[in-house]
Structure 1
Amino acid sequence: MQKFKASLRFLGILFLRVLLGIVVAYLWAYAVAYLFHIIMDVRVPRDVIDHFYDTGPPREGRYGGTVGSAYGFAWRFGIVGFWVFIGIGIIWGFSQGRLDCRRWLRKQHA
C-alpha cells in the first residue's frame, strides 16, 4: 500500500508539472505571436496554411515585403520555445522537486 501511494504521488506530481510546462509553453507561443503582431503591425495568421495559401490582397504593414520571412522566424522561435518549456516541465516532473540548480552550480564552480 505504501508503494502504491508513493507511485500515485509520483504520477500526480509528474502530471501537474508537465501540465504546468504545457501551459507555460502555450503562453510563450501566444506571447511570441502577440509581439510579432505589435512589431510587424500585421495580423497573425491563424495557421500556417492561412499564411502560405492566402489568395487575398497582400497584407499591409510597416514591413510589407518582409512579413513572410519575419513570420517564418517568429514561427520557428515560438515553436522551439514551446518544446523547450514542455521539456523543462517533463524534466521537472521526473526530478520530483530534487532539481537543485544551486547545488549543481556550486559543484561546477568549486
Structure 2
Amino acid sequence: MAALDGGASRVSMNGPAAIALRSSTVQIFALALHELATNALKYGALAQPQARLEIRWHVEYPGPEDSPWLHVDWREHGVRMPSRDALPQGGGSGRELIERALPYQLGARTTYVMEADGIH
C-alpha cells in the first residue's frame, strides 16, 4: 500500500503478521492484491478524499485434517459509485483474476461485489 502512495491515513489494515504462504501461491495472490489496490487508487477509495479502505485478514483452521484458509476482506467505504447504468457490464482484468484465476489456480473461494459505497 505504501508503494502506491494511496493516502495511508485512509487505509486500515488488521490481521496477524507473518502468515506463511506456499511459494506457488504468492505470485497470483500478490497480483490480485495489486489489482485491487491499483483500481482503488484510480477509481475507488484511494482516489476519493472522503473514502476509506479497510483490509482485514485472518487464518481459519477448520479441522485437524484440513488445511488452513486465509480469509482476506477488502472493503471500500464512502466511494461515490457511478449509477447502475454507468457501471461496467463486463469484468476488468482484476475482477477476472479474483473471480476466475484465484479459484482455478489456488482453489480459493472468492466474491467481488460493487456495493453502494465501494468494492467489497
Give the TM bin, normalised by the shorter chain: 0.3 to 0.5
Q: Could you tell me the TM-score, scaled by structure 2's length? A: 0.32
In proportion to residue count, which structure has more strand? 2
Greater relative contact order structure (CA < 8 Å, 6+ sep): 1
Q: Could you tell me the TM-score, scaled by structure 1's length? A: 0.34
The structure that has the greater radius of gyration is 1
